[in-house]
Amino acid sequence: MPSPVPEKDRNPAPLPLLEQVRRRVRAKHLSRRTEQAYTHWIKRYILHHNKRHPAEMAAPEVEAFLSWLATDREVSASTQNQALAALLFLYKEVLGLTLPWLDKVTRAKPRERRPVVLSHQEVSALLANMSDVTGLMARLIYGTGMRLMECCQLRIKDIDFHQREIIIRAGKGGKDRVTMLPASLITDLQAHISDVRRFHELDRSNNAPGVAMPEALARKYPSAGASWAWFWCFPADHLSTDPVSGVHRRHHLFEQAVQRAIKRAVQAAGIVKPATTHTLRHSFATHLLMGGYDIRTVQELLGHADVTTTMIYTHVLNQGGRGVISPLDRV
């Protein structure tokens, strides 16, 4: 007669709370960055209330934490909203609790900030001080308006040289969109992709695991990650361990490499504006509007869900202070 199963084996200990959050985020197919942001704010919330378990707390504690962020930490409205989203996810998706309307939260004051935009001459100077892969990526970001991570995560199959277009898959909000492929980049991009093939062939000859795939596709097509079509356009030059799956494989080039290269180029070009990688995206949108393209077209190319987000770039149509000519210029 088999011995009885111990009680502790029949009822395994529950997972730690943050691990439950991570698993639920992945089950909802949210991005890695969303997972990191949510776990960060949930941890901050718990520490703020002296490590009490969130199940022991409710709306008053949530309101107190969000108000503290606005009044004591003076965070931006978008940061406060991110913390709110994380806590709503925790209570609804992980703890199975519904919070009432949070009407006692002191709201962070929205700050109206104009995006940093480079002139055509400044963009040319910046790009002239970049080379190799990061220089190609910087030109691609400025020439298409894609985000940095969208550029890093491009796959071979996403670039259509015949149609001169690039498909950006699972961008912000999980949406796909199409943007143009600048004609001036075709030759350099084709040469780069030809060179990248050696990494793919090296991985196949070493029987290395294929590149990371979207979860559903990885289950349906388990061998697709080893195919050339799904390989990264901008792969890292070495293998590393996937922090989620623990698989040792080739990842795309890390975004920090591009950010550091652009920071050096900004300094070398003598640009005094606080320009970053995202400034190239701002400049792309602004220069299109200055060129007479309608705002709906720019919205689609940028992948904005709401045209009001794109409206921040219309300040370029009012050059000078709101388009007003100074009386000094009439003297």
pLDDT digits (tens, 9 = 90+) for 95-116: 999 888 888 888 888 777 788 9
Q: Are residues 248 and 305 in the same domain?
A: yes
Q: Are residues 133 and 84 in the same domain?
A: no
Residue 304 annotated in active site: yes
pLDDT in tens, 202-232: 999 999 999 998 877 778 888 899 999 999 9
Residue 313 annotated in active site: yes
Contact 190, 155 (CB under 8 A): no
- CATH number reported for the structural domain that contains residue 166 in this entry: 1.10.443.10
Residue of 324, 320, 313 whose CA lies nearest to 291 = 313
Determine the Cα–Cα distance for residues 116 and 48; give it in Å rounded to an integer: 35
Contact 166, 181 (CB under 8 A): yes
Residue 172 annotated in active site: yes
In three-state secondary structure terms, 302 is helix
Tell me which residue range forms the domain holding 209: 120-316
Q: What integer pLDDT is reported at residue 8 of this predicted model? A: 52
Contact 90, 99 (CB under 8 A): no
36 in a domain, yes or no?
yes
Q: What integer pLDDT is reported at residue 69 of this predicted model? A: 94
Last residue in a domain, options 76, 94, 112: 94
Q: What integer pLDDT is reported at residue 35 of this predicted model? A: 92
End-to-end CA distance of the chain: 106
Q: Are residues 205 and 163 in the same domain?
A: yes
Determine the Cα–Cα distance for residues 297 and 142; give it in Å rounded to an integer: 16
Residue 49 annotated in active site: no
The C-alpha angle 185, 186, 191, rounded to 5 degrees, equals 100
329 in a domain, yes or no?
no
Q: How many CA within 13 A on the CB side of residue 87?
A: 27
| Annotated catalytic residue, options 22, 38, 45, 147 | 147
Q: What integer pLDDT is reported at residue 120 of this predicted model? A: 94
Q: Are residues 234 and 88 in the same domain?
A: no
| Annotated catalytic residue, options 172, 192, 204, 315 | 172
Ordered per-residue pLDDT tens for the chain, 331 residues = 555 555 555 566 678 999 999 999 988 878 888 999 999 999 999 999 999 999 999 999 999 999 999 999 999 998 999 999 999 999 999 999 988 888 888 888 877 778 899 999 999 999 999 999 999 999 999 999 999 999 999 999 999 999 999 999 876 767 889 999 999 999 999 999 999 999 999 999 999 999 998 877 778 888 899 999 999 999 999 999 987 788 999 999 999 999 999 999 999 999 999 999 999 999 999 999 988 899 999 999 998 888 888 888 877 666 655 556 666 566 6
330 in a domain, yes or no?
no
Residue 107: phi and psi, rounded to 5, are: -80, 140
What is the pTM assigned to this prediction?
Answer: 0.78
Total number of domains constituting the chain: 2
Determine the Cα–Cα distance for residues 192 and 189; give it in Å rounded to an integer: 5
Fill in the amino acid letter for 305.
A
Q: Are residues 62 and 199 in the same domain?
A: no
In this structure, are strands 159-160 and 165-168 parallel, antiparallel, or unpaired? antiparallel
Quote the tokens at residue 1: 């007669």
Residue 78: phi and psi, rounded to 5, are: -70, -35
Quote the tokens at residue 97: 């609790």
Q: Are residues 77 and 174 in the same domain?
A: no
- CATH number reported for the structural domain that contains residue 18 in this entry: 1.10.150.130
1 in a domain, yes or no?
no
Determine the Cα–Cα distance for residues 158 and 169; give it in Å rounded to an integer: 8
Determine the Cα–Cα distance for residues 103 and 73; give it in Å rounded to an integer: 20
Alpha carbon of 219 to those of 126, 212, 215, 230: distances in Å? 43, 12, 6, 15
Last residue in a domain, options 44, 76, 94: 94
Q: Are residues 53 and 184 in the same domain?
A: no
| Annotated catalytic residue, options 45, 91, 142, 313 | 313
Contact 274, 139 (CB under 8 A): no
87 in a domain, yes or no?
yes
Last residue in a domain, options 77, 94, 111: 94
Fill in the amino acid letter for 44.
R
Residue 278 annotated in active site: yes
Q: Are residues 42 and 170 in the same domain?
A: no
Q: Are residues 188 and 291 in the same domain?
A: yes
327 in a domain, yes or no?
no
Q: Are residues 274 and 207 in the same domain?
A: yes
Q: Are residues 159 and 299 in the same domain?
A: yes
Determine the Cα–Cα distance for residues 75 and 66; give it in Å rounded to an integer: 10
Q: How many residues does the chain have?
A: 331
| Annotated catalytic residue, options 155, 177, 249, 304 | 304
- Provide DSSP, 92-118: IIIS--------S--PPPP---PPP--
| Annotated catalytic residue, options 44, 204, 278, 315 | 278
| Annotated catalytic residue, options 177, 281, 282, 287 | 281
242 in a domain, yes or no?
yes
Q: Are residues 238 and 134 in the same domain?
A: yes
Quote the tokens at residue 291: 């060129």
328 in a domain, yes or no?
no
